[in-house]
Amino acid sequence: MKNIHIVCKRNNEDAVRIAKNIVDSFGKECNIGIDEIAAKVMHYEKTFELEHVGEDTDLIIVLGGDGTLLSASRHLKGKEVPILGVNLGGLGFLTETSVEELPSMVEKAIKGDFDISKRVMLLVTVKRGEDHVFEFSILNDAVITKDALARIIDIETYVNDEYLTTYKADGLIFSTPTGSTGYSLAAGGPLIYPSLANIMVTPICPHMLTNRPIILPEGVTARAVLSSKEEKVLLTIDGQIGFPLEYGDEVIVRKSPYTTILVKSSSRGYFEILRNKLKWGER
């Protein structure tokens, strides 16, 4: 691997410092580009806009947390470039690699000596009347949620055009297996092994306690129709981009043609990461 893009968490001094260390260590054997904001801080000439991350590139290194990686994955838009996520201090389920093991991981990656994990993405579309007014492929989740002062909202939900139920709740989460460790978990959803391709539907504080999360099989299309007229409702994808919904809007969720490829940590497996992050076994 000779071409590398580095994406840094915004306004993070540690990320910029580590990016500089990577350039100093591997800049002679690799062509390294750094995102334009971090490059400006570093006074570094080889730069790229985030919209073009992964173009003509063999590897992407993300320095930050899961949010930075989620943003990079959306901007790839189908470019199957492996992402090496480096955790700079947060919870970090996606950014598996520690700062300490980063140099050896980069060295192995340059030689092509690494394992990957392919993660399914979801294509989320908002249909308003006959028009598609919003569409993104996401790695984590899509959340329909009410305004802080709004009452419970009604969401008619269908699976492959078969009526499922009308959720009366604070909201509804559509999650990938990768996103099962995020908002869905906090709302009572189960953990799903990340290499699977299911869609998980989790109600947020449902009015009926019998409304429980449901795991849908690969290949189905889920559809949620907003049935509340007077409440302010927002669709949020990956916790980063919001879109206001109107009465009658349909949120359509299906498997995306895109995938995200993550470089696995060489020192820790998924279950070890899960135990550590969720502090299982601690008293």
125 and 252 part of one domain: yes
Per-residue pLDDT band for 23 (boundaries 50, 70, 90) equals: very high
Nearest to 230 by CA among 156, 150, 149: 150
Please say if 66 is a catalytic residue.
yes
The total of structural domains in the chain comes to 2
Element (H, E) at 127: strand 116-128
206 and 273 part of one domain: no
| pLDDT value at 63 more than 90 | yes
The residue from 66, 141, 170, 249 that is catalytic is: 66
How big is the CA angle at 96 (ends 92 and 102), to the nearest 5 degrees? 120
Q: Is residue 204 part of a domain?
A: yes
Residue 168: what pLDDT? Answer: 96
Per-residue pLDDT band for 2 (boundaries 50, 70, 90) equals: confident
Percent of the chain with pLDDT over 70: 99
Q: Residues 88-139: pLDDT tens digits?
A: 977 778 888 889 999 999 999 988 899 999 999 999 999 999 999 999 999 9
19 and 129 part of one domain: no
Residue written as tokens 């539907």? 201
66 and 152 part of one domain: no
Residue 150: what pLDDT? Answer: 76
Average pLDDT, the chain: 94
Q: Is residue 214 part of a domain?
A: yes
163 and 180 part of one domain: yes
108 and 131 part of one domain: no
Domain, as residue range, for 35: 3-115+264-278
**CATH code for the domain of 46:** 3.40.50.10330
35 and 71 part of one domain: yes
Residue 92: what pLDDT? Answer: 77
73 and 143 part of one domain: no
45 and 17 part of one domain: yes
Average pLDDT in the 16-20 region? 96
CA distance 233 to 247: 9
Q: Is residue 283 part of a domain?
A: no
**CATH code for the domain of 186:** 2.60.200.30
Please state whether the predicted TM-score (pTM) of the whole model is above 0.75: yes
48 and 63 part of one domain: yes
Residue 228: what pLDDT? Answer: 92
Q: Residues 162-192: pLDDT tens digits?
A: 999 999 999 999 999 999 999 999 999 999 9
Burial of residue 99, with CB atoms counted within 10 A of its CB: 0-12 exposed, 13-18 middle, 19 or more buried: middle
Amino acid at 209: L
| pLDDT value at 64 more than 90 | yes
Q: Is residue 12 part of a domain?
A: yes
141 and 107 part of one domain: no
Q: Residues 197-244: pLDDT tens digits?
A: 999 999 999 998 899 999 999 999 999 999 998 889 999 999 999 999
CA distance 56 to 53: 9
Asked if 232 contacts 196 with a C-beta cutoff of 8 angstroms, the reply is no
Average pLDDT in the 146-172 region? 93
232 and 201 part of one domain: yes
Residue 272: what pLDDT? Answer: 87
Looking at residue 252, the DSSP 8-state letter turns out to be E
Our CA dihedral for 28, 31, 35, 39, rounded to 10 degrees, sits at 40
